[in-house]
Structure 1
Amino acid sequence: MLKEKRLQKIQNLLIANGSIETSQLSRTFAVTEMTIRRDLETLIKENPKIVRTHGGAMLSNSGEQVELPYEQRMSANSELKYDIAQTALSFIRHGQVLFIDSGTTTLHLARQITNEFNNTVITNGINIATELLTRDWVNVILIGGDLRKNTRSTRGPLAEEQMRNFKVDVAFLGANAIGSNGNIYLANTSEIGFKKSVLAAAKEVYVLADSNKFNKFNLISCANGRDVTGIITDCNLPHETIETLEELDVHLITATK
């Protein structure tokens, strides 16, 4: 089994069980305990929520506990997010039905949609809906559901059911992390159902993620980069990371300043 595939399976076991034992993993994957210990060290470097224990590893916190406050995320890397939003804007055509996810990078995108645009925008982001209400020719549809304060967004079964009724031309999604295996990670399990309903509804999907989110894991994966149209990031992404992801058939789009 390839190392990347084994790392993903170990990550999944850790998410499912909360803790794992080196000896058990050694038997499961038919490799030495030394190999498993090296695998765990790799995961720990990429995910601060994984900690070593005597004979294995465990998750120290849930994703929601370690997620930064909205205000902190909004101010972090704002120039990079602006550049990413500018590039994302070039994929929008007049008259299209768009989905814009809740998030701080996607809010930068919403701010750049001017009065000249004539689009329908579906969103689960409260701030994004409020931002777009000032546009004369943009029709805004706000998805209802359970309100999550730290992301200013709705999610849950009601939101998922509503989203399944729509067909979307282009969707712009946020993410908490992009793994070296190409997986797109979220920090909260309650959001995965809604993200998957958007993926099913959209013809094209672009993930907006600044370079600081790459080569990291988070709580749970909602998709792989090769399953979306492209991942839009900034120009600071290391060349080695670009090569690794492109070998996995992940389409990376680099924003220019």
Structure 2
Amino acid sequence: MSQSFRQPEILDIARREGKVTVEGLAAHFGVTLQTIRRDLTDLAEAGRLERVHGGAVLPSGTTNIEYGERRSLNQEAKRAIARACADQIPNGISLFLNIGTSTEAVAEELKHHENLMVVTNNMNVANILAGNPGCEIIVTGGQLRRSDGGLIGNLAAETIRKFKFDLAVIGCSALDRDGDLLDFDIQEVSVSQAILRQSRKTFLVSDHTKFSRSAPARIASLADLDAFFTDAPLPPGLATACQSWGTRVVTSVRPDT
């Protein structure tokens, strides 16, 4: 397989898994380690990947992956995470769902829940749940981010402060090794922090690719949350920290494992 065909597939694998290894790619493509190293060097020089020992990861940066691309990544894993999360959401509560493809997957799993009041700053979530007659939907208002249907800014945060939610389900763009939840948009971060302050219980939904990504703005720590729903075991140090914090970790088995 030529370089022009390998490199797009290498990027696809990196987006699915968050990381690629030289040995794994060499076995996958049936080429030498040196060939893969050249591919990764080319991709790193183009800013598409960031070299690490033994392989490469998606680059750290100040901008998020495009929404359409994020929506198509790890769909089955997100569904598994969303089902596990939705199973822990009772009927008859007030619930906040924020911006993100993982929270949209949770909304899909709530279509048959009853007597929910769902507040959201995600137009996609509102549209997903519009067909559920057992769900009252309140949209926060705010500045519309056309790229993903998110509502951000002071108006969104002010609306949130008028409520006290039984439960909030949030996503994040990256999860740091110390357990900090990270994002790219400072306006979205301030809204997420308002959500956490106004919620009696909080869940995070995030797939394993977020473990190897970075973003510049801090939302909160896993220590501040009640439960974390994901699709792969946490790094040992972070798993131990979650135990000490009392943050429950629910790991859904990925379809390809």
For normalisation by structure 2, the TM-score amounts to 0.72
Name the SS of the counterpart of 1:206 in structure 2.
strand
Please tell me the residue identity of whatever aligns with 2:79.
Answer: Y
Tell me, yes or no, if structure 1 residue 48 matches structure 2 residue 59. Answer: yes
Tell me, yes or no, if structure 1 residue 164 matches structure 2 residue 175. Answer: no
2-side partners of 1:71 and 1:245: how far apart? 34
What count of residue pairs does the alignment treat as equivalent? 200
In structure 2, relative to structure 1, the CA distance for the partners of 1:238 and 1:206 (3 Å cut) is closer
Q: Contact (CA 8 Å) 2:99, 2:121: kept in 1 or not?
A: yes
In structure 2, relative to structure 1, the CA distance for the partners of 1:253 and 1:116 (3 Å cut) is closer
Please tell me the residue identity of whatever aligns with 2:221.
Answer: N
User: Which residue does the alignment assign to 1:173?
Assistant: 170
2-side partners of 1:247 and 1:164: how far apart? 30
Name the SS of the counterpart of 1:203 in structure 2.
coil
2:233 pairs, out of 237, 240, 257, with 237
Name the SS of the counterpart of 1:131 in structure 2.
helix
Q: CA deviation at 1:216?
A: 3.5
RMSD of aligned alpha carbons: 2.2
2-side partners of 1:246 and 1:214: how far apart? 14
In structure 2, relative to structure 1, the CA distance for the partners of 1:153 and 1:172 (3 Å cut) is same
Please tell me the residue identity of whatever aligns with 2:156.
Answer: A
User: Which residue does the alignment assign to 2:101?
Assistant: 104
Please tell me the residue identity of whatever aligns with 2:194.
Answer: S
In structure 2, relative to structure 1, the CA distance for the partners of 1:179 and 1:239 (3 Å cut) is closer
Alignment of 1:192-203 (within 5 A): 192-203=189-200
1-side partners of 2:196 and 2:123: how far apart? 20
User: Which residue does the alignment assign to 1:221?
Assistant: 218
Tell me, yes or no, if structure 1 residue 188 matches structure 2 residue 199. Answer: no
2:65 pairs, out of 64, 68, 78, with 68
Please tell me the residue identity of whatever aligns with 1:208.
Answer: V
Q: Contact (CA 8 Å) 2:179, 2:238: kept in 1 or not?
A: no
User: Which residue does the alignment assign to 2:77?
Assistant: 80
Q: Contact (CA 8 Å) 1:171, 1:206: kept in 2 or not?
A: yes
Q: Contact (CA 8 Å) 1:181, 1:248: kept in 2 or not?
A: no
2-side partners of 1:222 and 1:116: how far apart? 29
| Identical positions, percent | 26
Q: Contact (CA 8 Å) 2:177, 2:238: kept in 1 or not?
A: no
For normalisation by structure 1, the TM-score amounts to 0.72
2-side partners of 1:125 and 1:208: how far apart? 15
1-side partners of 2:205 and 2:100: how far apart? 10
1-side partners of 2:222 and 2:238: how far apart? 12
Name the SS of the counterpart of 1:202 in structure 2.
coil
In structure 2, relative to structure 1, the CA distance for the partners of 1:245 and 1:80 (3 Å cut) is farther
Unaligned segments of structure 2, at least 5 residues? 1-51
Tell me, yes or no, if structure 1 residue 246 matches structure 2 residue 242. Answer: yes
Tell me, yes or no, if structure 1 residue 150 matches structure 2 residue 147. Answer: yes
Q: Contact (CA 8 Å) 1:114, 1:135: kept in 2 or not?
A: yes
In structure 2, relative to structure 1, the CA distance for the partners of 1:248 and 1:212 (3 Å cut) is farther
Q: CA deviation at 1:188?
A: 1.2
In structure 2, relative to structure 1, the CA distance for the partners of 1:86 and 1:79 (3 Å cut) is same
Q: Contact (CA 8 Å) 1:182, 1:248: kept in 2 or not?
A: no
Please tell me the residue identity of whatever aligns with 1:127.
Answer: N
Name the SS of the counterpart of 1:166 in structure 2.
coil
2-side partners of 1:192 and 1:238: how far apart? 23
2-side partners of 1:106 and 1:213: how far apart? 14
